[in-house]
């Protein structure tokens, strides 16, 4: 029953994609209504699924259905769906944000020459993303993983005439591929050991101890590589800021709310795969990412770039949360972040739309009078991401910090304390840069009067999504259902025999002891961040330029995004290109050179033997002939025809022979 | 069910060739139509074979066996199993498509189509022959028309390319002939006790006599066969004929070269080398050498592809990389890897065929193939761009499209091999996944994205005839990507049997038993 609903949730966007890509242009309104209404139907279905799933109110709720996809000898590869509370939540998040983004896009993309194609791509993405969160096996998740990647490629490069857009699309796909290959090798390893792709079967082998030790750690880290790529974690985070080349609603849907969160979902979905060692790495990567991205966001001037780095930073938070065992906290933040970050991006889109595709905050200012709805909703989202108490972001961020502190108190290691300290400091940075962006955009005096004068509030197809998302941003953190339903999976769930409690199943409870400290600190840091932002950008007590001049070196370092792009360009990109050119040269000159050389040698040799044949062999023949001829000519003189001469010669010969004979005796 | 269907499918093109030869040379359309009809009929026959093929048996099907040259015990012996049926279907499909793609050939039309039909017959023959001598004859029959098709209808350096192709292939043939003779004289016919060319007899190790019981000789024979087939695949370092042949060959011939001829190398290994000399195949120095070359093919081929500025050359080097995946999948001797490898042969035939057709489309319009000489075609030719993107993404292994599943199975099979430890090789091989994505997307960007090159503002969109060649392949790319069982069902039983046969063959020195 539930599975049938999910099948339709996944298939409907695929159907609308197929219709839209082939016939979209010929449909009335270029077909925009078709994918959009399909997504709203999907949202409805997702709500029904969520209702049915949650009505059981069982954290271990789990239904699966699969069919045999490929049978080869003893190997059977099954493909199917797995629906549990997490999937139900993800289906809801994806369909909600996707349907609102569809609606928003009708206004935002109005008049674009490839308007119908845009909606086709959105459908393709929705299909892939919904499949990704519902599929029940590693191979399947990898397939949808790549498909969301290609939808992302198509949408980032949507305005492909711009060189920067096609570059960004290519970069996104390739950087992701690097992570994906790690994930693919992880899948190879898992399959070689367990002979199955099915999540539950793999986890069962872990529970029974058949799959353990260093190989399990390696498999976990390799699978995590996929998450590093897709969720833009250090060191593969460089593609996401460039991905802002895509239309802004796309950034909201794919590069903020859903696809980039797929990495977090992956780690959550396969959580029992990660050993303690793997989790240490995951926590470290997440924390580094959260910090680096936040520092870069502080100096950005492009409103979308601020949000992009903010997204990377928040994804780092989620990954770090999972790494410290805060399973529920990380996934909770995934959900609340989807609401407020989609809202921030759509808000930014509304601003950009109003400013005629101006993204530079130095050209904005004072827009709150012109765009009241956009402003209020943007403010709500900014407060949520900054961790202002009462809003959804506060609850989830607080849960993460509590989990990090709890883990630190539990293990007592410097490593985990450092993680907590970095995360809490980053929370302060987040509040600072988000309010900085808010003040620069909506407060103060207009810095570009002409653009300001032309600015106007967006049409209702664009403001309704803003309001809807603002609603979820406010209420999304309340209630204990998330905490009660999205429970960290324990190995016991997957073991068929005696229940073996997982080694890393206990941490979440410990976090409660740390809750109060974490909450106080997080509120403190959030308000400190907001206060400092206000000092610089609202009250203008201090000048940001003065600071950037004073710490010029640091400012340059941050402005250049820690020089990651330059580093990769100089090493990986240039290295590969050089190597490929060297190989091309080697192939042409050396390998083919040998072939051609052999051919030339053969012709040379044949020429040589031809010459020898002409001069030596044939020469010898001719020479013999000539000798014979000469003898003939010479001896002809003897043939005089006179009998006397012949008798004389015969006599002479006789005497000669006689003398010889005498001499021999 | 048509009796003697294999003979029909092989010799139908020959009949077509004679009709073409009887037509006056100026009746160009008639010649083309006759060729299309005969290759079309071939597809009908191929469909009959597909429908009537029994997927549950390991034995040869549609067998025809007639004594041919009695004094040497040579038979006209044809039959197909899962391995060959996939190749027969591929050949029929690509031949027809190549004929349609040849429609704009204008030079010596009669000779072109006659030679093409002869080539078609030769290719079909190779895939159905079960008598090694017959196999060899068909193998050589292909060579000549191919030489002329490249050498007469090719690009500026056609003669160089044609001779290179011919000599290289001939070298392989000579080595194969040597191996063939050793096998002939040392395999006894279980019925008469005499010499035999029968491949099925050769596969039965009990029939091996004489010097074939010396391990060193077996290794030598295997090596000779290997080089013979490696040239065809092509395997590094015997591959340099391929880029030249591809670049110079006219588009339809490139399609056939990449789509069908390359498969003969790996087909030969699976039909002849592996089952006849399984112990040599499993001999570790050979096996690890084989896998090393497979990985070199993948990584080196992909790197070379990235370095190319000629679109056709890029596709040619890409083929080298993809055939490396086939080799890797075969080597692990797992059911998954073997099925993946043969499926990859089929899929690569479709995708590379598509890629060459796509190159042909813009070459016909722009008269050059410089990747950097285009730019922005996506805004001018949206349908063409859509189809090209499909082929490009299939080529870089996007899930949902056909190449993905066969590549994934090949890698999975190699990595999970229990007979040999190929894990490190497989991991290096997966680098190809990144590199392929790199050069395909870079090419996509340079040809289709960016502002439209002002030279091509009037470039006409892909036309109906081109669509007829591209669309069937595009449909297969998607259908086989979602439901690979259409082909896998054919392969599975035969290939699993092959894997078991090779795995179970004793690896000890036979001569010392």
The residue ranges of every structural domain in chain B are 283-504
CA closest to A180 among chain B residues: B434
Average pLDDT over every residue of A372-394: 93
Confirm if B495 and B338 have CB atoms less than 8 A apart.
yes
pLDDT surpassing 70 at residue A506: no
Query: A451 at the B interface (CB within 8 A)?
Result: no
Query: Residue B249 half-sphere exposure, CB side, CA atoms within 13 Å?
Result: 32
Nearest to A580 among B306, B393, B430 (CB): B306
Q: CB–CB of A192 and B241 under 8 A?
A: no
Reported as a single tens digit per residue, the pLDDT across A431-448 is: 999 999 999 999 888 888
Residue of A10, A22, A23, A73 to mutate, interface with B, max B Cβ within 10 Å: A73
Distance (Å) from the C-alpha of residue A184 to the closest C-alpha of chain B? 8
pLDDT in tens, A263-294: 999 999 999 999 999 999 999 999 999 999 99
* pLDDT-above-90 percentage for chain A: 61
Residues of B in contact with A157 (CB under 8 A): 449
A-B C-beta contacts closer than 8 Å: 134
pLDDT digits (tens, 9 = 90+) for B200-241: 999 988 888 888 888 889 999 999 999 999 999 999 889 999
Chain A: give the shortest CA distance to residue B312, in Å.
15
For the stretch B488-507, pLDDT in tens is: 999 999 999 999 999 988 86
Check CB contact of A166 with chain B, cutoff 8 Å.
Answer: yes
Q: Is B432 helix (H, G, I), strand (E, B) or coil?
A: helix
On the question of pLDDT at A498 being above 80, the answer is: no
Q: How far apart are the first and last CA of chain B?
A: 47
User: Measured between alpha carbons, how far is A486 from A86 in angstroms, rounded to an integer?
Assistant: 6
In terms of CA atoms, which chain B residue is nearest residue A177? B434
Pick from B336, B433, B452: CB nearest A184: B433
What is residue A515's predicted lDDT score, i.e. its pLDDT? Answer: 83
Instruction: Please report the DSSP string for A303-356 in residue order.
Output: HHHHHHHHHHHHHHHHHHHHHTT-HHHHHHHHHHHHHHHHHHHHHHHHHHHHTT
Give the confidence band of B350 by pLDDT, cuts at 50, 70, 90. very high
CA dihedral sign, ordered A333, A334, A335, A336: positive
Q: Which residues of B touch A577 (CB under 8 A)?
A: 306
Residue B450, chain A, CB below 8 Å: the answer is yes
Residue A59: other Cβ atoms inside 10 A:
17
Contact A184 B430 (CB under 8 A): yes
Instruction: Give the nearest chain B residue to A193 (CA atoms).
Output: B416
Q: Specify whether the CB–CB gap between B60 and B127 falls below 8 A.
A: no
Provide the pLDDT for residue A80.
92
Composition of chain A by helix, strand, coil, percent to 5: 80, 5, 20
Nearest to B451 among A147, A161, A178 (CB): A161
SS (H, E, C) B324-346: HHHHHHHHCCCHHHHHHHHHHHH
Task: List, for residues A368-381, the tens digit of each pLDDT value.
Answer: 888 999 999 999 99
Task: Give the long-range contacts of residues A310-313, CB within 8 A, separation 24 or more.
Answer: A310/A341, A310/A344, A310/A385, A310/A430, A310/A433, A310/A434, A311/A232, A311/A240, A311/A255, A311/A256, A311/A260, A311/A341, A312/A232, A312/A233, A312/A237, A312/A240, A312/A241, A313/A289, A313/A426, A313/A430
Under an 8 A CB cutoff, do B378 and A160 touch?
yes
Whether the pLDDT of residue B468 is over 60: the answer is: yes
Q: Which chain B residues touch A72 with a CB distance below 8 Å?
A: 335-336, 339, 409, 488, 492, 496
Q: Which of B437, B487, B495 to mutate to test the interface with A (most CBs of A within 10 A)?
A: B437
Residues of chain B with pLDDT > 90, as a percent, come to: 78
Residue among A239, A36, A97, A71 nearest A156 (CA): A239
Closest approach of chain B CAs to the CA of A368, in angstroms?
37
Distance CA B149, CA B98 (A): 13
Confidence of residue B510 (pLDDT cuts 50, 70, 90): very low
d(CA A500, CA B97): 60
Closest-CA distance of chain A to residue B347, Å: 17
d(CA B139, CA B127): 10
Contact status of B468 with chain A (Cβ, < 8 Å)? no
Determine the number of helices (DSSP H) and then strands (DSSP E) in chain A.
Answer: 28, 2
For A290-309, what is the mean pLDDT? 94
The predicted pLDDT at position B509 comes to: 52
pLDDT at A513 over 90: no
User: Would you say the C-alpha torsion A453, A459, A465, A471 has a positive or negative sign?
Assistant: positive
User: What integer pLDDT is reported at residue A500 of this predicted model?
Assistant: 41
- Residue pLDDT, tens place only, A30-64: 888 999 999 999 999 999 999 999 988 888 888 88
Neighbours of B465 (CB within 10 A): 12
Q: Which residue of A has its CA nearest to B443?
A: A170
Q: Coil, strand or helix: which one is B223?
A: helix
Query: Looking at residues A53-81, what average pLDDT do you find?
Result: 86
The chain A residue lying nearest B161, using CA atoms, is: A596
Burial class (CB in 10 A: 0-12, 13-18, 19+), A628: exposed
Helix (H) or strand (E) run with residue A203 in it: helix A199-207
**ipTM above threshold 0.95:** no
Residues 491-510 of B with CB under 8 A from A: 492, 496, 499
Helix, coil or strand: residue A109: coil
Mean per-residue pLDDT of chain A: 90
Average pLDDT, chain B: 92
Residues of chain B with Cβ-Cβ distance to A581 below 8 Å are: 307
Preceding peptide of A514 cis, ω within 30°: no
Contact check, Cβ <8 Å, A150/B307: no
Q: Which residues contact B449 (CB under 8 A, 6 or more apart)?
A: A157, A160, A161, A163, A165, A166, B375, B376, B378
**Quick check: A214 contacting B, CB < 8 Å?**
no
Quick one: which of A177, A290, A275 has its CA closest to A233? A290
Could you say which residues from 265 to 304 on chain B have a Cβ atom under 8 Å away from some Cβ of chain A? 300, 303-304
Chain A residue with the nearest C-alpha to that of B165: A595
A143 and B CB contact within 8 Å: yes
Give the helix, strand, coil percentages of chain B, each rounded to 5. 75, 5, 20
Instruction: Please check whether residue A67 touches B, CB under 8 A.
Output: no
Residue B388 is predicted with a pLDDT of 95
Question: Measured between beta carbons, which residues in chain B are less than 8 angstroms from residue A143?
Answer: 399-400, 404
Per-residue pLDDT for A497 more than 60?
no
Rounded Cα distance, A469 and A576, in Å: 44
Q: What is the 3-state secondary structure (H, E, C) of A6-39?
A: HHHHHHHHHHHHHHHHHHHHHCHHHHCHHHHHHH
Alpha-carbon gap, residue A539 to A543, rounded angstroms: 10
**Contact: B303, A580; criterion CB under 8 Å:** yes
Q: Please report how the helices B158-186 and A592-612 are oriented relative to each other, as an axis angle in degrees rounded to 10.
A: 80
Token pair 């790996």 is found at: B266
- DSSP secondary structure string for all residues of A221-260: HHHHHHHHHHTT-TTSTTHHHHGGGS-HHHHHIIIIISGG
Tell me the C-alpha distance between B79 and B131, whole Å.
10
C-beta of residue A366 within 8 angstroms of C-beta of residue A358: no
Chain B window 228-267: which residues touch A at a Cβ cutoff of 8 Å?
Answer: 236-237, 239-241
* Whole-number Å distance between alpha carbons of B184 and A530: 88
- CB–CB contact B423 A192 (8 Å): yes
Give the end-to-end CA distance of chain A in Å, rounded to a whole number: 130
Neighbours of A43 (CB within 10 A): 20
Q: Are A281 and A221 in contact (CB under 8 A)?
A: yes
Instruction: Decide: B246 and B317 in contact? Cβ < 8 Å.
Output: no
Overall size of chain B counted in residues: 513
Q: How far apart are CA A499 and CA A163, in angstroms?
A: 57
CA pair distance B76, A36, nearest whole angstrom: 63
Segment B300-320 mean pLDDT: 93
B376: nearest Cα among A159, A118, A161, A171? A161
Contact by Cβ (8 Å): A263, A141: no
- pTM higher than 0.80, yes or no? yes
What local confidence, expressed as pLDDT, does residue A642 receive?
A: 83
Instruction: Give the pLDDT confidence score for residue A512 in this predicted structure.
Output: 58
Cβ atoms A407, A507 nearer than 8 A: yes
Model confidence band, residue A505 (pLDDT cutoffs 50, 70, 90): very low
Q: Chain A partners of B449 at a C-beta cutoff of 8 Å?
A: 157, 160-161, 163, 165-166
Nearest by CB to residue B430, choosing from A163, A181, A579, is: A181
Distance, in Å, from the CA atom of B63 to the CA atom of B8, rounded to the nearest integer, reads 13
Residue tagged 């590093």 (tokens): A228
A146 in contact with B, Cβ within 8 Å:
yes
């Amino acid at each position: 029953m539930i599975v049938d609903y999910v099948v339709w949730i996944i298939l409907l966007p695929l159907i609308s994609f197929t219709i839209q890509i082939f016939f979209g242009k010929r449909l009335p309104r270029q077909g925009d209504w078709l994918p959009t209404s399909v997504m709203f139907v999907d949202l409805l279905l997702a709500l029904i699924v969520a209702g049915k799933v949650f009505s059981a109110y069982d954290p271990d709720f789990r239904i699966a259905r699969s069919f045999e996809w490929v049978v080869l000898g003893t190997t059977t590869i099954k493909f199917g769906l797995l629906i549990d509370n997490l999937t139900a939540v993800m289906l809801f998040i994806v369909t909600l944000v996707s349907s609102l983004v569809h609606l928003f896009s009708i206004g935002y993309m109005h008049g674009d020459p490839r308007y119908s194609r845009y909606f086709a791509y959105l459908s393709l993405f929705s299909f892939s993303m919904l499949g990704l969160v519902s599929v029940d096996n590693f191979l399947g998740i990898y397939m949808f993983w790549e498909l969301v990647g290609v939808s992302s490629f198509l949408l980032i490069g949507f305005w492909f005439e711009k060189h920067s857009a096609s570059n960004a699309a290519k970069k996104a796909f390739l950087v992701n591929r690097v992570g994906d290959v790690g994930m693919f090798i992880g899948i190879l390893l898992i399959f070689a050991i367990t002979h199955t792709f099915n999540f539950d079967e793999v986890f069962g082998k872990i529970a029974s101890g058949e799959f353990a030790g260093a190989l399990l750690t390696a498999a976990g880290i390799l699978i995590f590589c996929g998450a590093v790529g897709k969720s833009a974690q250090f060191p593969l985070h460089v593609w996401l800021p460039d991905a802002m080349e895509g239309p802004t609603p796309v950034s909201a849907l794919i590069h903020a709310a859903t696809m980039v969160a797929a990495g977090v979902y992956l780690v959550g979905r396969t959580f029992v795969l990660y050993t303690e060692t793997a989790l240490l790495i995951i926590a470290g990567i997440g924390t580094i990412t959260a910090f680096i991205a936040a520092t870069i966001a502080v100096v950005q001037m492009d409103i979308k770039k601020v949000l992009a780095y903010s997204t990377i930073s928040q994804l780092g938070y989620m990954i770090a949360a999972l790494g410290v065992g805060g399973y529920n906290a990380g996934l909770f933040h995934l959900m609340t972040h989807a609401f407020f970050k989609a809202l921030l991006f759509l808000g930014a889109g509304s601003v950009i739309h109003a400013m005629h595709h101006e993204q530079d905050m130095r050209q904005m200012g004072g827009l709150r009078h012109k765009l009241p709805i956009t402003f209020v909703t943007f403010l709500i989202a900014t407060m949520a991401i900054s961790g202002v108490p009462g809003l959804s972001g506060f609850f989830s961020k607080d849960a993460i910090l509590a989990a990090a502190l709890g883990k630190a108190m539990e293990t007592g290691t410097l490593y985990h304390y450092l993680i907590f300290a970095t995360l809490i400091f980053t929370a302060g940075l987040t509040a600072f840069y988000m309010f900085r962006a808010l003040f620069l955009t909506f407060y103060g005096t207009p810095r570009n009067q002409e653009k300001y004068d032309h600015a106007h509030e967006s049409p209702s197809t664009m403001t309704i999504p803003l309001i809807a998302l603002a609603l979820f941003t406010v209420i999304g953190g309340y209630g204990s259902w998330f905490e009660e339903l999205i429970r960290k999976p324990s190995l016991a769930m997957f073991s068929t025999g005696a229940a073996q409690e997982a080694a890393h199943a206990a941490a979440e409870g410990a976090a409660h002891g740390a809750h109060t400290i974490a909450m106080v600190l997080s509120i403190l840091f959030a308000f400190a961040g907001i206060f400092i932002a206000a000092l610089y950008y609202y009250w203008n007590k201090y000048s940001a330029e003065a600071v950037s001049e004073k710490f010029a070196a640091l400012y340059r370092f941050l402005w250049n995004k820690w020089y990651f792009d330059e580093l990769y360009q100089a090493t990986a990109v240039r290295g590969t290109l050089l190597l490929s050119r060297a190989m091309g040269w080697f192939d042409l000159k050396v390998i083919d050179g040998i072939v051609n050389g052999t051919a030339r040698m053969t012709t040379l040799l044949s020429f040589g033997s031809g010459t020898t044949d002409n001069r030596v062999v044939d020469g010898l023949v001719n020479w013999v002939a000539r000798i014979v001829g000469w003898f003939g000519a010479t001896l002809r003189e003897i043939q005089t025809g006179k009998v006397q001469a012949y008798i004389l010669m015969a006599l002479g010969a006789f005497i000669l022979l006689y003398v010889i004979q005498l001499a021999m005796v | 069910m048509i009796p003697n269907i294999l003979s029909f499918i092989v010799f139908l093109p020959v009949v077509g060739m004679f009709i073409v030869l009887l037509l006056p040379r100026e009746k160009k359309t008639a010649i083309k139509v006759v060729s299309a009809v005969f290759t079309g009929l071939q597809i009908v026959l191929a469909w009959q074979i597909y429908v009537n093929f029994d997927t549950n048996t390991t034995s040869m099907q549609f067998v025809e066996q007639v004594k041919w040259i009695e004094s040497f015990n040579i038979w006209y012996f044809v039959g197909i199993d899962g391995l060959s049926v996939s190749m027969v279907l591929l050949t029929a499909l690509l031949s027809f498509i190549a004929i349609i793609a040849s429609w704009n050939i204008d030079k010596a039309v009669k000779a072109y189509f006659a030679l093409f039909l002869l080539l078609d017959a030769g290719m079909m023959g190779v895939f159905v022959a079960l008598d090694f001598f017959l196999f060899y004859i068909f193998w050589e029959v292909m060579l000549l028309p191919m030489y002329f098709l490249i050498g007469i209808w090719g690009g500026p350096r056609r003669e160089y390319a044609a001779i290179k192709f011919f000599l290289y292939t001939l070298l392989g043939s000579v080595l194969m002939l040597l191996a063939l003779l050793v096998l002939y004289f040392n395999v006894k016919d279980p019925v008469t006790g005499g010499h035999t060319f029968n491949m099925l007899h050769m596969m039965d190790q009990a029939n091996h006599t004489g010097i074939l019981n010396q391990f060193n000789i077996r290794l030598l024979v295997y090596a000779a066969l290997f080089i013979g087939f490696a040239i065809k695949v092509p395997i590094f370092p015997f591959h340099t004929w391929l880029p030249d042949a591809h670049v110079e060959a006219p588009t339809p011939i490139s399609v056939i070269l990449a789509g069908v001829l390359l498969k003969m190398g790996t087909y030969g290994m699976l039909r002849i080398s592996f089952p006849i000399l399984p112990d040599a195949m499993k001999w570790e120095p050979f096996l690890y050498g084989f896998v090393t070359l497979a990985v070199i093919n993948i990584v080196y081929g992909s790197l070379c592809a990235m370095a190319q500025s000629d679109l056709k050359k890029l596709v040619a080097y890409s083929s080298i990389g993809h055939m490396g995946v086939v080799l890797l999948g075969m080597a692990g001797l797992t059911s998954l890897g073997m099925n993946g490898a043969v499926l990859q042969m089929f899929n690569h035939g479709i995708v590379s065929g598509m890629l060459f057709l796509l190159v042909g489309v813009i070459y016909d319009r722009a008269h050059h193939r410089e990747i950097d000489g285009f730019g922005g075609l996506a805004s001018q030719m949206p349908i063409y761009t859509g189809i090209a993107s499909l082929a490009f993404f299939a080529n870089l292994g996007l899930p949902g499209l056909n190449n993905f599943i066969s590549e994934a199975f090949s890698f999975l099979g190699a990595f999970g091999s229990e007979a040999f430890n190929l894990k490190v090789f497989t991991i290096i091989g997966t680098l190809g996944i990144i590199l392929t994505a790199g050069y395909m997307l870079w090419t996509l960007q340079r040809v289709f994205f960016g502002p439209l090159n002002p030279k091509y503002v009037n470039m006409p969109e892909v036309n109906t005839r081109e669509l007829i060649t591209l669309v069937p392949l595009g449909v297969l790319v998607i259908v086989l990507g979602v439901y690979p069982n259409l082909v896998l069902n054919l392969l599975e039983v035969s290939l699993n049997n092959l894997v078991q046969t090779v795995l179970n063959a004793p690896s000890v020195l036979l001569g010392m038993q």
